[in-house]
Chain A
Amino acid sequence: MINILKSLNFGARREKVIWITLGSMLAIPFFAMYLMGMMNGDGLQKMTPSFYFASQMMGVIFIFTCFGIIVLAGLLVAGDGGDKVINYEIMAGHSRTKIFAARMLAGFLWGSVLTFLLMILPLGYFTLLYGWGLETNPKEVLLRCLLAFFPILRFCAFNMMLASMMRSAGKGIALGYVSVMITALVNSILEDMFRLDLIYHTSMTNAAFLITSQNARNVVMNGKTVALYDTAVTADMVYVTIGVSLAFTAAYLIIAYVHFKKKDRD
């Protein structure tokens, strides 16, 4: 399995699309700051991490992170499917279980861990530049971000399942994008028409709930009016987020594994 991982990493490092995706994910927060500054007429917006979180900017950028996860998951899991290179891993004598495990691990490492780090990286460099800020509690925000890793894992697993079953990175990515759109549309309809409060039903709503702020109240601090946001994390949030995310992740992996293990390869 380690050999397959090495081979996958070797290929991933030479895949231009992966570097473009990662570069985009790094650049988007700065681009967002610039746009915000342009809209406010202040030039480049000086964004503390607290404001970054409180202004929903992190939540907005998370959408782009999801697109990045779709691309990375698709390429790592099924990038070798279109050109049949994955067939040669089977013919080399590796068990299908090991091939599957290696690809899923590579997909998780690049698609979940790396994108998660890129998602929270702005918090780090904004803190270095401007300090934390006033609007939110840093420990609570960090805990929410860490919890958000689990729905990201679930989202990554879903897209890896799609790519694996489609046997093509392109098809998996396309289907991933379509599923995001449909999920967003259905959620919007359910929330608007039936006043349903969807949090844990999908990975995106779960992550969005965690990394967006709720319940702001205005207080006066040092002669200035500051909006303070409620970022408290309850025990329920922790247990349900982790439990539901891991359960769905396991389900997606099992479905993908059974399909990979039992089906003939073209």
Chain B
Amino acid sequence: MSETIVDVKNLTKQYGQQMALDGVSFQIKKGSIVGLIGPNGAGKTTIMKIMGGLAFPTGGELEMYGATDEKGLNHARTRMSFMIETPYEKEKMTARENLEKQRLQKGIPDKNRIDEVLKIVNLQNTGKKIVKNFSLGMRQRLGLANALMGKPEFMVLDEPINGLDPEGIVEIRELFRKLNREENITMVISSHILSELSLLCTDYIFINHGKIKGVFTADELKQACSEFYRINTDNNEKASAILLQHFGIERIETMEDGSLRIYDGLEKMHEISKALYENGIIPVELSKNEVNLEDYYMKMVRE
């Protein structure tokens, strides 16, 4: 069983009257890639800031690598790297100078590490160009390079593919997979590009309004993002009652346009359509579909 490296218990963070985090609990296992998903203001960055030591929780407990005290958490952070909100960058310095400053700050003795990480993120040819003149994508890459400098065991990345072109997104995705596969680096990644997360993550944490809405493994989410039947009739309300009473189908969702989605009893569609007809309900639409991650995310955040 994988070692638990982060254990968050009932974490709260209050800014004035606003609860940024409200009793958040989750665990992160070694070797996982966790997608932290939620709309703007959901609490994703707040969680990352607390993990990074930038913010202090109002209540609850944060345990990282077995430590809960300040000294222990600081020591745990030496095994981690973070990229939260703005990437690490001094605008008037070149990429190489930025990494050298980071190298000195972290006490990394090997100067060759700078060339290694520049090559990994494809910034080895920036020369004397200062960061101020970098594109957004280049700045993101530099931020990732800084995050990789100390050869971390655990990376916490806030929207790391923000600003990257499609080619860059694929490159970075492959890099993350490689780091996870070959060096067993654990990652927590927040992103709005859900399709990318679905190609990468082993676990998902959905958060909204400071509360955890769901924690799933990739397999569990795949099941949750399951097949369903879309039913549209001339009397959807009556149809919903019949489905419940006659077939015991409880997982029925009424969509904004009034149509119904049913997630259970999919093998009984023939009997269902017959029952509806016999009860004077005319099915206008009956189609098989699948929930994708975006649909599931929208459903989660609406709750």
Interface residues of chain A, those whose CB is within 8 Å of chain B, are 3-4, 6-7, 10-11, 14-16, 80, 83-85, 87-96, 262, 264-265
Contacts and interface: CB of A to CB of B under 8 A. Distances in A.
13 contacts: A3-B104, A7-B101, A10-B101, A85-B88, A88-B82, A88-B88, A89-B105, A91-B80, A91-B82, A92-B77, A92-B106, A93-B77, A265-B54
B88 A93 contact: no
Contact of B74 (A3, A14, A94): A94
Contacts of A92: 77-78, 81, 105-106, 150
B106 to A, nearest CB: 6
The number of chain B residues touching the other chain, given as a range, is: 35 or more
B57 to A, nearest CB: 10
A10 B104 contact: yes
Interface of B: 49, 52-56, 70-71, 74-82, 84-86, 88-93, 97, 100-102, 104-107, 146, 150
Nearest to A2: B107
Given A7-B104, A14-B97, A92-B106, A84 B86 contact: yes
Nearest to B46: A264
Given A3-B107, A264-B56, A87 B74 contact: no
Nearest to B152: A92
B74 to A, nearest CB: 5
Given A87-B52, A87-B84, A264-B49, 14 more contacts: A3-B106, A4-B105, A10-B101, A10-B104, A14-B92, A15-B92, A85-B89, A88-B82, A91-B80, A93-B79, A94-B74, A265-B49, A265-B54, A265-B55
A83 B86 contact: yes
A14 B85 CA distance: 25
B104 A83 contact: no
Contacts of A6: 104-105
A7 B105 contact: yes
Contacts of B53: 90-91, 96
| Interface residues of chain A: helix, strand, loop or mixed (majority) | helix
A5 to B, nearest CB: 9
A10 B101 CA distance: 7
A262 B53 CA distance: 11
Name the residue among B76, B90, B102 with the largest chain A CB count within 10 angstroms.
B90
Contacts of B105: 3-4, 6-7, 88-89, 92, 94
Contacts of B93: 11, 14
Given A14-B93, A95-B70, A90 B104 contact: no
Nearest to A9: B104
A91 B90 contact: no
